[in-house]
């Protein structure tokens, strides 16, 4: 038997750089495409977009109603766009009796142009596998202990349908201006793994 030594794989950074070179050669991709795309994503696809939608829904019942019917159109009202393959944005309203939580069991898809890039825990296989079967336990482990009477609904993201949770507005914040309300809305609350009720006025 021959003793062959296998080289350790190159770092992720080196592999990404090599892939970029190949893409530039094969697809005539502009030299600065990746850097410019990353900069655009960092600047434009952020949690603050979804937070603005939530804050508007809390203060404008008509916008809230439109958002629950057609999340994509409601996002566009505020100037937010989607990649072509994100055909539908479905907004799920949390209530005192129903709590929604989002997952992507196949990978880590989110409505990233609205709620920002998926956090590491969302990509983790443990979360993706368990939240569907043990949603109450997983949420409790993440710090959200829901009453036994609360119905938990788990929504699995698909290639063309993305979800966003509309969290309940903390009672102490009623009457706040939209801009201030937007500052309390977190990515976790729009995924559904936390609630915002503890925010004080």
Query: Considering the domain boundaries, does residue 3 fall inside one?
Result: no
Residues 30 and 119 in one domain: no
Residues 6+ apart with CB under 8 A from 129: 105
Query: Considering the domain boundaries, does residue 201 fall inside one?
Result: no
- Res 87: pLDDT: 79
Number of domains into which the chain is organized: 2
Residues 177 and 128 in one domain: yes
Q: Which tens digit of pLDDT belongs to each residue from 30-49?
A: 666 555 455 444 455 579 99
Question: Is 11 annotated in the active site?
Answer: no
Spatial contact of 165 and 193, defined as CB atoms under 8 Å apart? no
Residues 83 and 34 in one domain: no
Query: Considering the domain boundaries, does residue 4 fall inside one?
Result: no
Report the sign of the C-alpha dihedral through residues 120, 87, 38, 77, in that order: negative
Residues 89 and 167 in one domain: yes
CATH number at residue 126: 3.90.330.10
Token pair belonging to 89: 């944005």
- For residue 122, the enclosing domain spans 46-191
Cα 51 from Cα 57, distance rounded (Å): 10
Q: Which tens digit of pLDDT belongs to each residue from 63-111?
A: 999 999 999 999 999 999 877 777 799 999 999 999 999 999 998 888 8
Residues 35 and 102 in one domain: no
- Matching residue, tokens 């916008």: 63
Q: Which tens digit of pLDDT belongs to each residue from 129-188?
A: 999 999 999 999 999 999 999 999 999 999 889 999 999 999 999 999 999 999 999 999
Question: Is 109 annotated in the active site?
Answer: yes
**Active-site residue, selected from the candidate residues 11, 104, 135, 189:** 104
Cα 42 from Cα 12, distance rounded (Å): 20
**Active-site residue, selected from the candidate residues 11, 109, 135, 189:** 109
């Amino acid at each position: 038997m021959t003793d062959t030594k296998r080289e350790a794989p190159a770092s992720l950074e080196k592999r990404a750089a090599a892939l970029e070179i190949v893409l530039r050669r094969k697809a005539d991709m502009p030299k600065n495409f990746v850097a410019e795309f990353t900069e655009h994503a960092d600047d434009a696809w952020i949690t603050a977009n979804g937070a603005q939608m939530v804050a508007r829904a809390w203060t404008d019942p008509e916008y809230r109603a439109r958002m629950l019917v057609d999340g994509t159109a409601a996002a566009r009202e505020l100037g937010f766009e989607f990649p072509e393959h994100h055909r539908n944005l479905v907004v799920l309203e949390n209530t005192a009796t129903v709590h929604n939580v989002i997952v992507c069991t196949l990978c880590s898809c989110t409505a990233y142009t609205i709620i920002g890039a998926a956090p590491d825990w969302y990509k983790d296989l443990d979360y993706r596998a368990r939240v569907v079967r043990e949603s109450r336990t997983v949420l409790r482990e993440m710090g959200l202990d829901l009453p036994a009477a609360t119905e938990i609904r788990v929504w699995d993201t698909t290639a063309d349908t993305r979800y966003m949770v509309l969290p309940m507005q903390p009672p102490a914040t009623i009457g706040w201006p939209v801009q201030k309300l937007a500052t309390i809305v977190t990515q976790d609350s729009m995924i559904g793994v936390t609630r915002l009720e503890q925010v004080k006025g």
